[in-house]
A and B are shown apart, each in its own frame.
Chain A
Amino acid sequence: MASVYGNDFGARAETSSDEPQSFLDLLAGEGRVEPRDEMPDAYRRTLVRQIAQHAHSEIIGMQPEGNWISRAPSLRRKAILMAKVQDEAGHGLYLYAAAETLGVDRADLLDQLHDGRQKYSSIFNYPTLTWADVGAIGWLVDGAAIVNQVPLCRCSYGPYARAMVRVCKEESFHQRQGFEILHTLSHGTPAQRAMAQDAVDRYWWPSLMMFGPPDDDSPNSAQSMAWGIKRFSNDDLRQRFVDMTVPQAEALGLTLPDPEIRWNEERGHYDFGEVDFTELFEVIKGHGPCNAQRMSHRVRAHEDGAWAREAASAYAQKQAQKQAEKQLVRTEGAA
């Protein structure tokens, strides 16, 4: 009966291709699936892939903004940015931990990131060229992420939902600080204002692409929705983001680079132009401006740190051995 909170890799519940009744009952009752419950293999695989990709996105996402820690234009901004990039490492950790409850090992997931078998969000393959990009990432990219992630707080898989609750709480600080950066710039000097507009021009369309391909073109969505992993369709979420963001852009006094944006009284939503996904697919294939750079940064950090990780393991082993020897001496002494 040596079982562990969600992490007993050796002795996980039996899985099969068909969906066990207990699993279907849980979904039907809006219950949460927990690590040791029976679940279909495909459900487990889908979750591992999605949570891992999400975790990878958090840690790769540290780079574009981390770029600006050394150059932040005031000490207050520097502190905020350090805290924000740190949060992203934290989010990565929460998510890797959630993935591990499904019987995978973080080291394996990192290997799959490093050799390209698993992906991260393509948005982070765009460069942060100016300080205003830090604002645009906070406002638009984190804003889109929040719209995507809030429904995940009710995801059918318990550990993922709990991780997302924690992440979402912290993300709202991220979005607000981004908005504040852009607000300050758009009310600053002409050069600052231009910088802010340029960043929004470059980050608007990639942010819309973060919601994924259109619904007719998204083969896995229906299954994910049936499993309670996904709650809303890509297009619904994209619309929600546009509706939320257009008034905020007005408050900033900045223009969104889409002449087709206008309020549609009949639909009760903003209309907007068609997203050109050809670029997104090119970026996903690895032809984005920063794909190679992001990966080599990540792999280098991992490889450069190997000796330190190994040293800590070796030290722990030595200490455990010493402890065991001491125990042995004590036991023998008592006998």
Chain B
Amino acid sequence: MREWPLWEVFVRSRRGLSHVHVGSLHAPDAEMALRNARDLYTRRQEGVSLWVVPAAEIVASTPDQGAAFFDPADDKVYRHPTFYDVPEGVEHL
């Protein structure tokens, strides 16, 4: 193996927030990946929790699926609360 496998890194920046993708790194195995991620991506107090995922294990949609996957949502604005008119003065709705 010429290069250690690639891992994608996700950081929870503080409690109450989701893990967010921050970048990637190379590591020989999961344990080292986690440690390398700690050293590289949280050295300025950027996080309280880490995920590392082998890049090869991530399943992603492709751009040519874009139209079929995401366009049908365009005309369904009634899914959003702002679609609805509420008389003035009505609260907690």
Contacts and interface: CB of A to CB of B under 8 A. Distances in A.
Question: A and B: direct contact (Cβ < 8 Å)?
Answer: yes
Interface in B13-34: 21, 23-26, 28-29, 32
A313 B1 contact: yes
A105 B28 contact: no
B63 A319 contact: no
B63 A312 contact: no
B28 A106 contact: no
A309 B3 CA distance: 8
Interface string A1-21: 111111110000100000000
A232 interface: no
A94 B61 CA distance: 24
B27 to A, nearest CB: 8
Contact of A2 (B2, B26, B44, B59): B59
Contacts of A194: none
Nearest to B46: A166
A86 B40 CA distance: 9
A236 B80 CA distance: 46
B23 to A, nearest CB: 5
Contacts of B44: 170
A241 B56 CA distance: 42
B29 A38 contact: no
Given A4-B59, A313-B1, 8 more contacts: A4-B57, A5-B21, A5-B55, A86-B43, A93-B23, A107-B2, A315-B28, A315-B29
